[in-house]
Amino acid sequence: MRQIKPNVYSVGTIDWDRRLFDELIPLPDGTSYNAYLIKGGEKTALLDTVDPTQTMLLIDNIIKIGVDKIDYVVAHHAEQDHSGSIADILALYPQAKVVTNPKCKGMLIDLLHIEEEKFITVEDGETLSLGDKTLRFVYIPWVHWPETLGTYLQEDKIFFPCDFFGSHLATSSLFVDDEPTVYEAAKRYYAEIMMPFRTAIGKNLEKIKALDIDMIAPSHGPVYNRPEFIINAYKEWVSNNVKNEVVLAFISMHESTKKMVEYFVNALIERGITVKQFNLAAVDIGKLAIALVDAATIVLGSPTVLTGAHPQVAYAAILADALRPKTKFASIIGSYGWGGKMIEQITGLISNLKVELLEPVMVKGCPKNDDFAALERLADEILAKHKEPGIEG
Ligand code: FEO
């Protein structure tokens, strides 16, 4: 338990050991579930709770402050890493009401079976007085669920945006004290969780311009006491601009695809194109997702397994399709023994990406001079495409 401003306490918990979220997303640096307790002159509010695995740590933190009552539990988001302890808090503080918007209320009833009479619903822009402190509620939908709500603490100029601007980072630092480390963690978080909702996030960035913000206190990772650091990073990530970069994700079984990848990577580097290569046999999908935030082009490389792509490459294609990066171009390189339908399969798997498909290079057996020449032509085409407007050199 620590104070971020007078009578505004950080009471969340640090999960140093968690290594997967949703049994999907790698957490190499753990995470935190941030909750904040605001003691007003008349009322006390708890903003969010924590993952149900850490309920007792949250309760310990609240008890240490010495509050004898909680009047409001503000639920910004129904996902259980923030809502999962609400029932325990209501059991401990039975007079407390859950304050949220109507959409989140419905989701909390569905997910946690909280009784309907426990809720107070608020509209976008509505305020709630705690006496000398005023909470203003700001709807920020689709960061990354449809119901998400933020709170602006008017007197202290603190914005609590829940997952928005968060980072999966377990750290004892209450505030950001190492911007490069937090930038990487926040970009990973954006890539894995926020990127599919880039347009909605852009609208929310516009909306919060109206707030005079001194501090951003998200629900994961340290508090930003220099809010422009993370706001500017988000502006860049959601912009339509991409970089002169190729993400090359591949796997090889008997070296044919690997020989193509090695040749192709050199051809791209010789043309001044940044390459981020990922061998999918042992990849941190978070790093792959981060690379997709900015890259102008993605190239998938695969041998043919039975009639299609290697399953690891199909997985990468499905992942990229789900994350919907702003990538503008795509291609496929690979090899086959006697036939197959890999091109049709992969292009079907990335149908959500708004990309122009550049001529794939498929090789029968081990690559020969003609095949390397085809890779040179693909590198030339990528170079030409990367000179188009909106692609930063
Ligand atoms: Fe951190 Fe969407 O929950």
CA distance 284 to 390: 29
Looking at ligand 1, which atom is closest to the CA of residue 162? 1
CB distance 193 to 163 below 8 Å:
yes
Do 93 and 153 fall into the same domain?
Answer: yes
CATH number of the domain residue 39 falls in: 3.60.15.10
Do 262 and 233 fall into the same domain?
Answer: no
CB distance 300 to 318 below 8 Å:
no
Q: Which of 238, 273, 293 is the last residue of a domain?
A: 238
| Sequence-distant (≥ 6) Cβ neighbours of residue 101 within 8 angstroms | 121, 122, 123, 124, 137, 139, 147, 149
Whether ligand 1 lies within 6 angstroms of the CB of 220 is answered as yes
Cα 109 to middle of ligand 1, angstroms: 17
Helix axes 198-207, 227-238, angle to 10 degrees: 140
Do 211 and 130 fall into the same domain?
Answer: yes
Do 261 and 214 fall into the same domain?
Answer: no
Residue 267 maps to a domain = yes
Residue 104 maps to a domain = yes
Q: Which of 194, 220, 238 is the last residue of a domain?
A: 238
Do 232 and 254 fall into the same domain?
Answer: no
Residue 134 maps to a domain = yes
Do 191 and 269 fall into the same domain?
Answer: no
Residue 392 maps to a domain = no
CA distance 118 to 21: 29
Q: What is the dihedral of CA 30, 31, 32, 33, to 10 degrees?
A: -130
Do 215 and 267 fall into the same domain?
Answer: no
Nearest protein CA to atom 3 of ligand 1, as residue = 79
Q: Which of 238, 262, 283 is the last residue of a domain?
A: 238
Whether ligand 1 lies within 6 angstroms of the CB of 258 is answered as no
Do 84 and 187 fall into the same domain?
Answer: yes
Do 200 and 260 fall into the same domain?
Answer: no
Cα 286 to middle of ligand 1, angstroms: 16
Q: What integer pLDDT is reported at residue 24 of this predicted model?
A: 84
Q: What is the dihedral of CA 12, 87, 123, 45, to 10 degrees?
A: -50
Whether ligand 1 lies within 6 angstroms of the CB of 82 is answered as yes
Residue 393 maps to a domain = no
Whether ligand 1 lies within 6 angstroms of the CB of 219 is answered as yes
Looking at ligand 1, which atom is closest to the CA of residue 163? 1
Do 104 and 32 fall into the same domain?
Answer: yes
Whether ligand 1 lies within 6 angstroms of the CB of 386 is answered as no
Provide the number of structural domains found in the chain: 2
Cα 37 to middle of ligand 1, angstroms: 19
Looking at ligand 1, which atom is closest to the CA of residue 145? 2
Do 125 and 67 fall into the same domain?
Answer: yes
Cα 146 to middle of ligand 1, angstroms: 12
Residue 352 maps to a domain = yes
Whether ligand 1 lies within 6 angstroms of the CB of 29 is answered as no
Cα 386 to middle of ligand 1, angstroms: 35
Residue 61 maps to a domain = yes
Whether ligand 1 lies within 6 angstroms of the CB of 147 is answered as no
Residue 391 maps to a domain = no
Whether ligand 1 lies within 6 angstroms of the CB of 48 is answered as no
One digit per residue, the tens of pLDDT, for the chain of length 393 reads: 799 999 999 999 999 999 988 888 899 999 999 999 999 999 999 999 999 999 999 999 999 999 889 999 999 999 999 999 999 999 999 999 999 999 999 999 999 999 999 999 999 999 999 999 999 999 999 999 999 999 999 999 999 999 999 999 999 999 999 999 999 999 999 999 999 999 999 999 999 999 999 999 999 999 999 999 999 999 999 999 999 999 999 999 999 999 999 999 999 999 999 999 999 999 999 999 999 999 999 999 999 999 999 999 999 999 999 999 999 999 999 999 999 999 999 999 999 999 999 999 999 999 999 999 999 999 999 999 999 988 887
Domain of 292 in residue numbering reads as 246-386
CATH number of the domain residue 276 falls in: 3.40.50.360
Do 203 and 273 fall into the same domain?
Answer: no
